[in-house]
């Protein structure tokens, strides 16, 4: 894939780092492994490093791009590869559920892929969670530190709010690491590719999403505090103990299922 159509340099304020390593590109396309009938939606196509190989494999693709200077080069170059639909919007304002409803996909869901801007990765992940029932799976490249946090379990130094929230609603599987040299310009950190598969609604078990969010947020708000102190605005020690969780434990020691059970109990009360 040639970048001769693209004359705009990467824009630091948009967190742009353009992937160019062919081996990594092929690994991402293989991880996505598009099938006939899939509705693929790429977030932040940049200069098309993943876009054009996916088009070659699948024939059609929807991309969400905020940088207007990339719209024409993407559209122009895509003609040689397949059918490209460009949504020129901030991804946080895009209704993934609406795209899925109009997708014509066999299961009525979309598949998300993208090299996410590192300065917006967490907001994008939480935005995707809001539309999880409309998403079949997600294959994202992110800062490795973020992927480590997403997949961490209790007892890990990087286990926190992001991991608990994502794991409650999705299966999180780190796939492979990506070195800085795979990008132009190279970022100052390592990257990694991760797959997220939303859980079936009946297996999630969160009765009140707002209460669950509040419990996890407050529990990790001050990591050094015990649950008894961190959750004092939401409940007392007896309520924590009632669901089999120690009030003197800290948030990083608590399983995802324990957070779900506590939030459900508080929601009932």
State the DSSP code for 252: G
For the whole model, what pTM was predicted? 0.90
For 117: left if phi > 0, alpha if psi spans -120 to 50, otherwise beta; the answer is beta
Asked whether this chain's domains 12-202 and 209-268 adopt the same fold, the reply is no
For residue 19, say whether it is annotated as part of any ligand binding site. yes
65 is in an annotated binding site: yes
From residue 231, alpha-carbon distances to 2, 203, 215, 247, 250 in Å are 54, 26, 7, 9, 11
Rg (CA), the chain: 20
Bridge partners for 177 per DSSP: 192
Give 50-93 as a DSSP string: THHHHHHHHSEEEEE---GGGHHHHHHHHTTT-EEEEE-S-GGG
Q: What is the pLDDT of residue 106?
A: 66
- The domain segmentation of the chain, as residue ranges, is 12-202, 209-268
Given this model, what pLDDT does residue 172 score? 98
What pLDDT shows up at residue 5? 59
How far apart, in whole angstroms, are the C-alpha atoms of residue 151 and residue 171? 9
CATH number of the domain located at residue range(s) 12-202 in this protein: 3.40.50.150
Residue 92 · residue 123 · CB < 8 Å: yes
Q: Is-contact 39 103, C-beta < 8 A?
A: yes
Architecture of domain 209-268: Orthogonal Bundle (1.10)
Query: 140 has which bridge partners?
Result: 114, 194
Q: How far apart (Å, rounded) are the C-alpha atoms in residues 179 and 144?
A: 10
Residue partners of 123: CB distance under 8 A and separation at least 6:
92
pLDDT means over runs of 10, the chain (269 residues): 49 61 96 95 92 96 92 93 95 96 80 91 95 96 96 96 97 97 88 97 92 97 92 96 96 96 95
């Amino acid at each position: 894939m040639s970048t001769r159509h693209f004359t705009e340099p990467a824009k630091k304020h948009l967190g742009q780092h353009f992937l160019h390593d062919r081996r990594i590109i092929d690994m991402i396309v293989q991880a996505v492994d598009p099938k006939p009938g899939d509705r693929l939606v790429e977030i932040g196509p940049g200069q098309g490093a993943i876009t054009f190989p996916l088009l070659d494999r699948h024939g059609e693709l929807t991309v969400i791009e905020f940088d207007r200077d990339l719209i024409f080069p993407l559209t122009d170059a895509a003609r040689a590869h397949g059918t490209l639909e460009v949504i020129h919007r901030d991804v946080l304002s895009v209704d993934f559920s609406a795209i899925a409803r109009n997708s014509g996909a066999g299961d009525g869901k979309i598949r998300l892929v993208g090299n996410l801007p590192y300065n917006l990765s967490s907001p994008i992940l939480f935005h995707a969670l809001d539309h999880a029932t409309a998403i079949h799976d997600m294959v994202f490249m992110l800062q490795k530190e973020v992927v480590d946090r997403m997949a961490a379990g209790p007892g890990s130094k990087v286990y926190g709010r992001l991991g608990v929230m994502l794991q409650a609603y999705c299966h999180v599987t780190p796939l492979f690491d990506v070195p800085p040299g795979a990008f132009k310009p190279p970022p100052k950190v390592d990257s990694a590719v991760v797959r997220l598969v939303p859980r079936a609604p009946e297996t999630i078990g969160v009765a009140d999403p707002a209460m669950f969010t509040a419990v996890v947020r407050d529990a990790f708000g001050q990591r050094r505090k015990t649950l008894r102190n961190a959750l004092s605005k939401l409940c007392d020690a007896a309520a924590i103990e009632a669901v089999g969780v120690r009030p003197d434990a800290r948030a990083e020691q608590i399983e995802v299922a324990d957070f779900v059970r506590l939030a459900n109990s508080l929601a009932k009360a």
